[in-house]
Structure 1
Amino acid sequence: MRVALLTREYPPEVYGGAGVHVEYLARELSAHVDLTVHCQGADRPTAIAHRPWDHLSSSNQALQTISTGLSMAAALSSVDLVHSHTWYANMAGHLASLLYRVPHVVTMHSLEPLRPWKAEQLGGGYALSSWCERDAVESAAAVVAVSKGMRADLLEAYPAVDPDRVRVIHNGIDATQYAPDPATDVLARYGIDPDRPAIVFVGRVTRQKGVPVLLRAAAHLDPDTQLVLCAGRPDTPELAAEVSLLVHDLRAGRHGVVWLDGMLDRREVIQLLSHATAFVCPSLYEPLGIVNLEAMACGTAVVASDVGGIPEVVADQRTGLLVKPDDPAALAEALNMLGRDPGLATVMGRAGRERAIADFDWTAIAAQTAELYAEITD
C-alpha cells in the first residue's frame, strides 16, 4: 500500500508534539507500508517539501498555508491513501481524497474550536484554519484521536462525524532514546545546580501551554527551588510582553529562574528532564501532551493540569500529580510537595518510566495505524 503522510513539521523542522508524533510514526510505519512524507518548509532528503506561493508572501498566514496544501494535493496522484496531521495539512488530504478518490485519514492532535486564542495569532485566518479542519474531519474515511479525551471533545465539537469512524490511537515514546542521562554538562552550561530542586518546563509559549499560569505559581515556590523554562518563541507580541514582564517580576523576587530561549537539541532536553525534580505541564488545553511522555521516559515525576488526554498519560499520585488547570496556587502546592520530598519524586519518576515503556511504544502504535489503513481500504 502506497501511503502519503502529510504534515507541516518534519525533521529537522520540528517544534511541537504533532511534529514529534509524525517523525516517530513515519519511522515505524515504513515497516508496514510504502511510505512517503510530504511536509512544509525547506527541502530535505527525507521528505518532499512544499512552500507557499511567492505571490502570497504578504498575505495572512492561513492563506499561505492553504496554498502549500494545494501544492501537496497536486503531488499525490500515485498514492492509495493519504494521512494528514493538523489543520496545516488537512486541506491537502481532503482535496487529494476528492481528486484521486482515495481514503483520507486524519489524526487529531488538537481542535481549532477549543483554541479560540488562535484568533489572536491568525486574525481572520482562524476562520480559515477552522474551515480546513472541519471539512477534512467531517469528510475523512477515518479519524484518529490521540486520546479518549480528544475523541470525546471531537465528537462534541463536530457532531456530524460518525463515532464509528473515530479510533483512539495514543501518541508514543521511544524509551530507548528518551532515557535517564546521568551526565551534568548541560546543567553546568546553563547554570543549573544539580544539588537543588529544579522544576523544568519544555514547550511553546502559547496560551494553550499555560506559561503565565506557571510563572504566577513560581512566585510561591520554595526559595531553594530552581525554575528552568525551555521555551520557544511566543505566538504574539502581546503574549511575549506579558511573559517577559512576569519573568522580570519573578527574577526580582527570587534566584534560580533560568530562561532558555529557542529550541534546545534533543540531548540537552533529555538531560534537563533527567535531573529535574519534576516536569511541569500547566496547559489549559492538551489533547495528550507528548512532552509528558518524554519526561516520564526520562524517569521524572510530572505535575500537570487535569485536562484533555493528560490523565490518560499521567497516573495521579503514582507517576505524578494532577492539578486543576489555570490555578497557580494549586500548581505551586503540588510542585512544592515534590520539591520537599525528593524520595517521593524519585519513586514517581521510576513508575512513570515503567508506564511509558509498557503502554506507549511506537512500534505498537504504528501497527495499530497500519491495521486501520487495511480496514478502510478492504
Structure 2
Amino acid sequence: MTRVAYVCADPGVPIFGTKGSSVHVQEIVRAWRGSGADVTVYCARRGTDRPADLADLDVIEVRPEPAPAGAAREQAVQEAALALVDEVLHRGCGLVYERYSLFSPALSVLAPVLDIPSVLEVNAPLIEEQQRYRQLVDIKKAETVLRRNAGTADVVACVSEPVIRWVRDRVPAARTVLVPNGVNVGRITPRMAGRRSPDHLTVAFVGTLKPWHGVPGLLHGVALANAQTTDASRRWRVLVIGDGPVRVDLERLAAALGVEAEFTGAVTPDAVPGLLNAADAAAAPYPPDVAGQDDYFSPLKVYEYMAAAMPIIASSVGQIPYILDDGRTGILVQPGEPAAIAQALTRLGEDPLLREGLGRSARDDAVTRFSWDGVLARITASLPPLRRVAAP
C-alpha cells in the first residue's frame, strides 16, 4: 500500500470547505484512497465542513502564526510549510503530492531527502494572481519556490495548456503533463428528466461570487430573454448557489432588472447536487476580460453541471471549448454578450428535447472523460517507470 503525503500549505484553501479548491483537494484524496493508498493530509487550514466519507482521514494542520499583511505574513506561511515538512519527515511516506502554493518548499525538501516519487499539482499562475488581486511582496522567494518544486517533481500536473506554458517559462526542464479538472460522477448523479416547474424555468450558477465569474451578464441575459417572450411558462428565474464579495451588488442588479433570483449563500459540496436538480439549465457566463488573461482555468462548475446532466450555457473562453462540445454537450456563447445568453436561454426554453439531449451527452462525457479516478490515473501514469505507483 502506497503511503501518500498530500501537502496543501496554502492558508486560503481549507481542506474541508465550500470553495472549489476545497472540492478539488477532497476529490484527489478520494481518488488516491480509492486506488488503495493510505493518505495523510498536511495542511495550513483544516476547515470545518468535513464530509462523512472523509471522517477517518488523517489531517495534520499547522497554521501560520498571525502576522500583518506583507512580508511578515509571507514569512509566516513559509515557516508553517516547513513545520509541515517536519511532520511528514517524522511520520514518513512513500510519495509526496503537493498542491502548489506560493511559499511552500515542501516537495523540493521531502522528495530528495526521502528519495520518493513526487507530484506537484499546479492549478493557477499564483504569482501573477497574487500580484493582480491581492499583494505579493517577496516575488523573488515565490519564483525560487516554484523553480525548486517544479524542477524536483517527477510530474508537474497542470490543469490547462496556459498553466503548462507558465510553468515551462520559469522551469523549462519541468516534467509537465496536462491534467484538466474532473468530477465525482458518483457524488453528482444525473438530474431527473423534465421541467422543474410548469410556471417558470430556472437557470443555476454555482461558484464564489466574484467579478470575474460574470454573473451580471447572466442576469442581463435572463432579463432580455424574459422580455422577448409572451409565454409566462418560458420565463426564466436564476438560482445562485454560492456566496462572495459581490453578492449584495448582484441582488440589487437582479431587483433592478426585474429578474427573480434566489441566492443560497455558501453551501457544502454535498448540497450542490440537490440544488442543481432543482434547475432546468446551468450557466458559466465568464466575462470578456477573462479571455486572454485568466484563461488558464479549468472550471469545476462546468464538470459538475455535466455530471448532473444539465443543459449548459457557457462562455467560449479558456478551457471551456475543450470541455464542452458546442451543440452536443452545451451551448457556447461569446463572453460579455447578454444577448447571446438570452438567445441560448430562449432556445432551451422552447425546446425540451434539446435540454434533455444536451444533458444526456454532457453526463456521458463526464463519465468517460472527466472522472477524478481518470485524472489521478493520468498523473500516476506520467511518473517515471521506476517510480510509478499503483493507480485506480
Q: State TM-score, norm by structure 1.
A: 0.80
| 1:110-149 map, 5 Å | 110-112=124-126, 115=129, 118-119=130-131, 121-124=133-136, 127=139, 131=143, 132-133=145-146, 135-146=148-159
Q: 1:47 to 1:221 in 2, by over 3 A?
A: farther
Structure 1 residues 246, 366: CA separation in 2 closer, same or farther (over 3 Å shift)?
closer
**Residue of structure 2 equivalent to 1:276:** 279
Residues 253, 210 of structure 1: CA spacing in aligned structure 2 closer, same or farther, 3 A cutoff?
Answer: closer
Pair 164,297 (structure 1): closer, same or farther in 2 beyond 3 Å:
same
Alignment of 1:240-279 (within 5 A): 240=246, 244-262=248-266, 264-279=267-282
Query: Which is further off, 165-174 or 362-371?
Result: 362-371
Instruction: State the AA in 2 paired with 1:35.
Output: V
| 2:355 is the alignment partner of 1:345 | yes
Question: What percentage of aligned pairs have identical amino acids?
Answer: 23
Q: Is 122-131 or 326-335 further displaced after alignment?
A: 122-131
Distance 1:155 1:181, change over 3 A: closer
Asked if 1:83 is matched to 2:97, the reply is yes
Partner Cα separation in structure 2 for residue 120 and residue 72 of structure 1 = 28
CA root-mean-square deviation: 3.3
Which digits, 9 at most, give the CA deviation of each residue in 1:281-320, with x for residues without a partner? 1233452212211111111011112222222221111010
Q: Which residue of 2 aligns with 1:94?
A: 108
Query: How many positions carry a matched residue from both structures?
Result: 357
1:58-77 superposed matches below 5 A: 58-60=68-70, 62-77=74-89
1:47 aligns with 2:61: no
Give the equivalent residue in structure 2 for 1:237.
none
Shift of 1:176: 2.4
Conservation of the 8 A alpha-carbon contact between 1:29 and 1:370: no
Corresponding residue number in structure 1 for 2:7: 6
Q: 1:205 — aligned with what?
A: 209
Q: Which moved more, 1:295-304 or 1:39-48?
A: 39-48
Q: Which residue of 1 aligns with 2:119?
A: 105
Q: Does 1:15 align with 2:19?
A: yes
Partner Cα separation in structure 2 for residue 46 and residue 125 of structure 1 = 35
Q: Is the 8 Å Cα contact of residues 15 and 46 (structure 2) preserved in structure 1?
A: no
Q: Deviations over 1:314-366 (max 9, x none)?
A: 11110101222333333333333323333212210111111111222233333
Task: Calculate the TM-score normalised by the size of structure 2.
Answer: 0.78
- Given that 2:329 and 2:362 are in contact with CA atoms closer than 8 Å, whether structure 1 keeps it comes out as yes
- Measured in 2, the distance between the counterparts of 1:65 and 1:91 equals 11
Is the alpha carbon distance of 1:28 and 1:135 closer, same or farther for their aligned partners in structure 2, counting shifts above 3 Å?
A: same
Unpaired segments of 5 or more residues in structure 1?
A: 235-239
AA aligned to 2:107 is G
Could you say if the C-alpha distance between residues 112 and 134 of structure 1 is closer, same or farther in structure 2, counting changes exceeding 3 Å?
farther
Shift of 1:29: 1.6
Q: Is the 8 A contact 1:103 1:376 kept in 2?
A: no
Q: Does 1:231 align with 2:242?
A: yes
Whole-Å separation in 1 of the counterparts to 2:328 and 2:133: 37
CA contact (8 A) 1:274 1:298 kept: yes
Q: Deviations over 1:48-86 (max 9, x none)?
A: 2323333x3444465543333222222222233321114
Q: Which amino acid aligns with 2:208?
A: R
Show CA shifts across 1:232-272 (max 9, x none): 222xxxxx3xx53343132133141112222x234532122
Kindly indicate whether residue 178 of structure 2 is the aligned counterpart of residue 168 of structure 1. Answer: yes
Q: 1:177 to 1:253 in 2, by over 3 A?
A: same
Structure 1 segment 300-315 matched on structure 2, within 5 A: 300-315=310-325
1:246 and 1:370, CA in 2 relative to 1: closer, same or farther beyond 3 A?
A: closer
Residue in structure 2 matching 1:221, options 220, 225, 229: 225
From 36, 40, 43, the equivalent of 1:36 is 40
Q: Which amino acid aligns with 2:79?
A: S
User: Does structure 1 residue 375 correspond to structure 2 residue 363?
Assistant: no
Give the aligned residue type for 1:83: Y
| Code of the aligned partner of 1:41 | R
Cα deviation for residue 4 of structure 1 reads 1.1
